Structure 1
Amino acid sequence: MPFWWQDLLFAAPRIVCGYLLTSDFGAAKFGLPWSPEDTNLKFFEVAYWFPNDIAEYGGIFALFPAFFAWMGAFSEGVGGIFWILGLFTRPFAFLIFVTMLVAVFFQQLNQGM
């Protein structure tokens, strides 16, 4: 018979990661109610600079930068909310995983380890 604190121990990392993902990364790129005032983002609007960053990756990202920017911002902003709530965690974990892979290989890797 599991104790209630065991469930809390499993939920705590998910809640913390979801909160940080949504409040810090997602809110800067995607218009959410708690987005910083200085970003001037409307609800579900992608930041003006984000598609330009995505287009610099080249390849298919240069062909559809607005789509990939919206998908990346959506997975960070809305995916974090769903992680906090514990709803659809596997599909959103996949979207966030893909977003982080793109960020690592196209943005961070060229800066070195």
Structure 2
Amino acid sequence: MGKLSTHVLDTAHGKPGAGVRVELYAVEGSQRTLIKEDSTNSDGRCNSPLLEGDNLRAGRYELVFAAGDYFASQGVALPSPRFIDRVTIAFGVADPGQNYHVPLVVTPWSYSTYRGS
């Protein structure tokens, strides 16, 4: 059975992104349905998978990270409006039997992701 997990890496400070609010949405057409909210732990990970087993289904999803709030909490001087604020990663799950790890590598000025396992 597969699972969906995430991880936040703060590359501006060279550390895990602890305390980042994460929202997971299922996407069907133009409709987004919030299915889970969580926050990252001291290692920048959620304490449990966002979805696993029968709850992980083939389809489209979005992860939304409150990166701007995180950097503000770290004392970073940010412009108003923030350049990077809420980061949305839209992705698809083709085979729910596999593991999907969708990390966020982020600074106040840039971000990237990749598919891990």
TM-score class normalised by the smaller sequence: under 0.3
More helix by share: 1
More strand by share: 2
Structure having the higher Rg: 1
TM-score normalised by length of structure 1: 0.28
TM-score normalised by length of structure 2: 0.27
Q: Which has the higher contact order (CA 8 A, sep 6+)?
A: 2
